[in-house]
Chain A
Amino acid sequence: MFYAQLAVNGLVQGLVVGLGALALTLVFGIARFPNAATGDTMTFGAYTALTVHKASGSLALGSIAAVGGAAVLALVAYLTVFKRLAGRSVVSLLVASIGIGFMIRAGLGVAFGHQQQVFNVPLSRPIRIAGLAINPLDLQLATVAVVALAAVFAILYLTPIGRQMRAVADNRDLARVSGIRPERVMTAMWLIAGGVSAVGGMMLGIKTIVSPEVGWEMLLPIFAATILGGIGSPVGAVVAGLVLGVAQEVSTPFVGFTYKIALSFVVLLAVLLVRPRGLFGRIEGVR
């Protein structure tokens, strides 16, 4: 029962990781580099949601602002930096993404200071379902995450632009000769990646605290989930995020509070060495 309770607690954490990993895997699959600014985009989302929530008192407004703001931020990063680096080595893009992450973090640090902030959400009594205590807030957050995920998957699998995105992820050159405009696909992809990160960041902020470093500190679990799920696999990213979130919580009694983060590193190594294409990845010639 105790572990079941931990697992339930881990689910929300897992959704946060899963959302971040989804953003990362979209960029990885389509733009072909690991975007180290993903974590800081999440932080940006958390701060935007926090500010709007403080001003208006509405979490719904906050989340809309966060999604919009972070989507625009990601698109600006693409247009000003990543687009110019297209065709360069992965290292260039990776270093540039770290630079962008630093700039976002610096901007947030100057604007909001370094003291930890919290979302002022009303406390509520947990609901008991089958002996498990479930926080109504967690349920709301999970609903938001599921709605966001449903929206992303609907775009990816039900719309023409989603089909084009998947085509580019699959084979860029083939997509190009089939008349798919890479520009539009990239724009859509960065908007979605930014928005998804923002939802993850906002949830993280509500569940824990908001500080300029929160997103960066999530980077390792997010990378681990992306690779566990298989690079470029949106479903895999979310599933792996949930697995990792639950595993972190369930492992806490054994390994302690600090080492649960190291679990991501172990998972990352194990997957890369044993099954580099992850759970849902395609077989690629490289790893």
Chain B
Amino acid sequence: MDAYLAAIAIIALIYMLLSLGLTLQYGLTGLINFGHVGFFAIGAYTSALLSLQGLPLALTIPAAAVTAGLAAWPIGLISLRLRDDYFAIVTLGFSETVRLVITSEKWLTNGVQGIPGIPRLFETISVGIGAQLAVMGLILAVTLAAIYAMRRIVASPFGRVIEAIRDNEEALQALGKDPAGFKIQVLILGSALAGIAGAFYAHYITYIVPDQFIPLVTFYVWMAIIIGGVGRVSGAIVGTGLLMLFLEGSRFLRDIVPGVSEVEMASLRIGVVGLLLVLFTIYRPQGLMGDFTKR
């Protein structure tokens, strides 16, 4: 039971990192990134492949952040020239293209067979609850650092500028600020967070295949921040908690309600994600933690 709870906590923290990255990009800056899972995948594969070459994880995980951040750079350059909805389509296409590349480039990624035997974090501690807790502690520390950084960003001049980009880009330009550089920085930062999340994921699960990086993951994260409340760090935290409750809860539901097969459950899960996206968009666009006074 302890091991199970620790496992859920680790996955929840990984999703939390993804949510924080998206909160920075969409919640604060208004960049509709529908390709979050692409950067997650880049981070996972980068760290997995480098660590299998014998590099220490202390190097490969930062490398994952750097690669994912670098991958966001050209996307950022493109985003400057596109309207919101086009940018959403381009990022969605990007994440699908990433998945195609890792599926096709067998020499590097072993294609659909995936990469097995990725080194764990804290390999010196034997498998068990101790190792689990150590991993959890490390990811928790990184997540808390990210939350702290986000809170500082929100309170900083940088935070005010990116929120102004979201609210009224023209007005900001009229004030003599250049949104372009800020957008690129935000994209790189958010994607680097996704890359770190990917690296932790790879080293925790120790086995990655392209099918783990489908767009559904992106929309899990979207669901989390929409339910929690877009543009609020607290929203990302609450939303991710609820997302995990939903993902794990649906697993138990299957034990209680007989006659629901695993594939049906997978379908139902997608359906509930869809329904929640629709309901929250219509009835509560500010999310649970959002401003209650306005709609």
- Give the interface of A toward B (CB within 8 A): 33-34, 81, 84-85, 88-92, 94-96, 98-110, 113-114, 212, 219-220, 223-224, 227, 256, 258-259, 261-262, 264-265, 268-269, 272-273, 276, 286-287
Q: Which residues of A contact B250 (CB under 8 A)?
A: none
Residue in B93, B104, B263, B276 whose CB lies within 8 Å of A268: B93
Residue in A91, A104, A272 whose CB lies within 8 Å of B90: A272
CB distance from A14 to the nearest CB of B (A): 19
- Place the interface of chain B in its size category: 35 or more
Q: Nearest A residue to B274 by beta-carbon distance?
A: A102
User: Is B266 touching A81 in the complex (CB atoms < 8 A)?
Assistant: no
Q: Which residues of B contact A268 (CB under 8 A)?
A: 89-90, 93
Bound CA–CA A113/B261 (angstroms) = 10
| A286 and B264 contact, Cβ closer than 8 Å, known pairs A99-B277, A105-B270, A223-B93 | no
- Give the interface of B toward A (CB within 8 A): 32, 78, 81-86, 88-90, 92-94, 96-97, 100-101, 103-104, 219, 222, 226, 263-264, 266-278, 281-282, 285
The A interface is mostly helix, strand or loop, or mixed, namely: helix
User: Is B96 touching A220 in the complex (CB atoms < 8 A)?
Assistant: yes
Bound CA–CA A6/B94 (angstroms) = 27
User: Is B271 touching A102 in the complex (CB atoms < 8 A)?
Assistant: yes
Can you list 12 A-B contacts (CB < 8 A)? A85-B281, A91-B85, A102-B271, A106-B269, A108-B267, A113-B263, A114-B263, A265-B97, A268-B90, A268-B93, A273-B78, A273-B81
User: Is A96 touching B270 in the complex (CB atoms < 8 A)?
Assistant: no
How many Cβ-Cβ contacts under 8 Å join chain A to chain B?
Answer: 129
User: Is A98 touching B219 in the complex (CB atoms < 8 A)?
Assistant: yes
Nearest 7 pairs of A and B residues by beta carbon: A106-B271, A102-B274, A109-B267, A99-B277, A99-B278, A103-B274, A99-B274
| A92 and B285 contact, Cβ closer than 8 Å, known pairs A103-B278, A268-B90 | yes
| A106 and B267 contact, Cβ closer than 8 Å, known pairs A34-B88, A99-B274 | yes
User: Is A269 touching B275 in the complex (CB atoms < 8 A)?
Assistant: no
Bound CA–CA A91/B285 (angstroms) = 11
User: Is A95 touching B93 in the complex (CB atoms < 8 A)?
Assistant: no
The CB with the most chain B CB atoms within 10 A, among A81, A101, A104, A109, is that of A109
Q: Nearest A residue to B277 by beta-carbon distance?
A: A99
Residue in B104, B263, B285 whose CB lies within 8 Å of A109: B263
| A109 and B264 contact, Cβ closer than 8 Å, known pairs A99-B276, A102-B270, A223-B89 | yes
